[in-house]
Chain A
């Protein structure tokens, strides 16, 4: 049952076959969006998009381009299904998800279509694991109508500088307030906790700031509980783009470099907290 001996005939039953030499390239990026069990998978010839949502206020998307996979065969324009993401991650890491160089888990992921399980063949050191994960019909992801033409403010930061701020966030604060402005304080993160408030100010000329394009002073609050899950994506990423549109919606785009140096994207959309102007 080694992965290489999968016969051609077997493959033809599948509408989607994707292979990776290193399953971590997939599991890492999926970890970044694991804050709810249900994940919607949408595969197109361009690649795989995985969407996780929380209470209609937060949406996270992970994009893994077709080129990342050693093999990516799709027999329909769009293949969609829904699986339990936590279960999928346990399966992808069945051999422990070793980070030791030279030790990696090979993956072959197959799907036959509606009503069939998502089948994973994983191999490490000659040991093979076969997983069959039950699938459901995909729900329609929410459209946040976040459109780049409506973007008011945008900054791109090296993730390193935000990681520290996020690890220090006062979790007794219900909200994280983001101020973006063409003038001082330029880019500010604020919390309002039990024992006081805290402001983190990033000057626009900081060497951590790769791009600063703010047109209008905007202050919006976002529920801490919604933003906290994005910390995982931040931790994996090397750059982050923070954008707000005219409605105060927030878009966080993380650029993630995987073990092989390839680039994937994780994106979060978050509604502003309604109670505050």
Chain B
């Protein structure tokens, strides 16, 4: 297996806020950060896709074999993020899969300096190479058969509201309809709070959106689909978002799951939060 890439740091910080460990899957065209919903993560899943062509000036990879041309690694995004942060002002950054004391992603950067000789920093981030028999666990999750899909308001606004609601309650109800309305609600012995968003718009999903062609045409536009979620999981998702994505969407499967999608330049991030009773 060979991997050499020159990386402009970015997305990894966001991912490091979401999870301690995740899987980095590399194919000739894409990179994926994957978290598959295990009980330990509270059932949360994540799928982040980066198109390599837009991130790297140079990208060489060679997988296990020509038909399975992939590399699958377990990484600690926080380590990656820290390494990439310290090389933010670097003239060049190279990321390479290396065999050191253990398999490592080695990040080497040339830092700007007055000296004629470059100041070089290297970070060896240990990784676990995931054997092929386990790859099936890290495939792209299916688009859920959602009841309502809606564009999200500015994430900063949601974050402010969710942060305050977190002070008041552990669970939050997210509800939305096909009329572009979304509510965030909490209710406790002391207080009930509802934040109403409107005119958000509903994304026009094509035929491939779900097996039966997206939300049924017959659904009452006023009818709310709702899911009660652990506020911390929603907070975790919001805390990592440092830039406003060009598109942010939310799909709700009534009382089952909240599926959040962010699209920004050439990154897409999907995040699944299971509903609780």
Contacts and interface: CB of A to CB of B under 8 A. Distances in A.
Q: Do A and B come from one complex?
A: yes
Interface string A226-257: 00000000000000000000000000000000
Nearest to B197: A127
B160 interface: yes
A95 B163 CA distance: 9
B190 A84 contact: yes
B202 to A, nearest CB: 18
Interface in B162-208: 163-165, 167-168, 189-199
A1 B197 CA distance: 11
Interface residues of A, number: 21
Contact of B161 (A95, A126, A132): A95
Contacts, number: 58
B195 A134 contact: no
B157 interface: yes
A94 B160 contact: yes
Contacts of A128: 195-196
Contacts of B157: 95-96, 124-125, 127
B167 A90 contact: yes
A131 B191 contact: yes
Nearest to B184: A129
A134 B196 contact: no
Given A125-B157, A128-B195, A87 B190 contact: yes
B153 interface: yes
A131 B192 contact: yes
A133 B191 CA distance: 4
Interface in A1-20: 1
A201 B238 CA distance: 49
A129 B190 contact: no
A142 to B, nearest CB: 24
A119 to B, nearest CB: 10
A150 B164 CA distance: 45
A1 B195 CA distance: 11
A91 interface: yes
B210 to A, nearest CB: 29
A42 interface: no
B160 A131 contact: no
A115 to B, nearest CB: 15
A130 interface: yes
Interface of B: 153, 156-157, 160-161, 163-165, 167-168, 189-199
Given A127-B195, A129-B194, 5 more contacts: A84-B191, A96-B163, A126-B198, A127-B196, A129-B196
Q: Which 4 A-B pairs have the closest CB atoms?
A: A96-B160, A129-B195, A131-B193, A90-B164
24 contacts: A1-B196, A84-B191, A86-B167, A87-B191, A90-B167, A90-B168, A91-B164, A94-B160, A94-B161, A94-B193, A94-B195, A96-B160, A126-B199, A127-B195, A127-B197, A128-B196, A129-B161, A129-B193, A130-B196, A131-B193, A132-B193, A133-B190, A134-B190, A134-B191
